Amino acid sequence: MPEKLLNDLIIGQIREAFTNLKEPVVILFFGSRENCDYCDDTRQLLDEVVAIDEKLTLNMYDIDTDHEVAKLYHVDKTPGIVIAAKNGDQIIDLGIQYSGIPSGHEFSTLIQDILLVSGRDSGLNPQSREYLKNLQKLLHLQVFVTPT
């Protein structure tokens, strides 16, 4: 067993935040055996997060051997994380994903994303919703961030 990445204090804080979880969430992790410095740590981190609440599950894939799944969810980098809604056995892709290890500041982004998907509400204002629901083509947003 490797040493845990999350200490008891942080787990306690996440558990408290997760009291606001509503619907089930599934996290899809895409790793790679080659050229992926952060895959092991990312997988372990996600493992520890989903263990905190039973509404959360983790599916693990390899971007090479499971390339069909990766393609389906538009994952082209590792570590790749898709935060999706779960309805029974059904995975509903909401187009929310993260590429890289969600550490530092980005760890709270991960937790917020999980809560957002669990609540099944984007929180966007009516004007944005009205415009976005009428999009005719795929809209791809890439938000570049750093852990610090």
Partner 1 sequence: MIRAEGVEAMEFPELSDRYGVSGVPQTTINDGTGTVVGAVPEQNLLAEIMRAVAK
Contact residues for partner 1, defined by CB under 8 A: 37-38, 74, 77, 95-102, 106, 109, 124-125, 127-128, 131-132, 135, 137-147
Query: To the nearest whole angstrom, how small is the minimum distance from the Cβ of residue 61 to partner 1?
Result: 17
Buried residues in 119-128 as b, exposed as e (16+ CB within 10 A): eeeeeeeeee
Query: To the nearest whole angstrom, how small is the minimum distance from the Cβ of residue 69 to partner 1?
Result: 16
Q: Which is nearer to partner 1, 54 or 122 (CB)?
A: 122
Q: Which is nearer to partner 1, 15 or 33 (CB)?
A: 33
Crossing angle for the helix pair 8-17 and 105-119, nearest 10 degrees? 30
Q: Could you please report the per-residue DSSP string of 51-67?
A: TT-TTEEEEEEETTTTH
Query: To the nearest whole angstrom, how small is the minimum distance from the Cβ of residue 54 to partner 1?
Result: 26
- DSSP state letter for 95: S
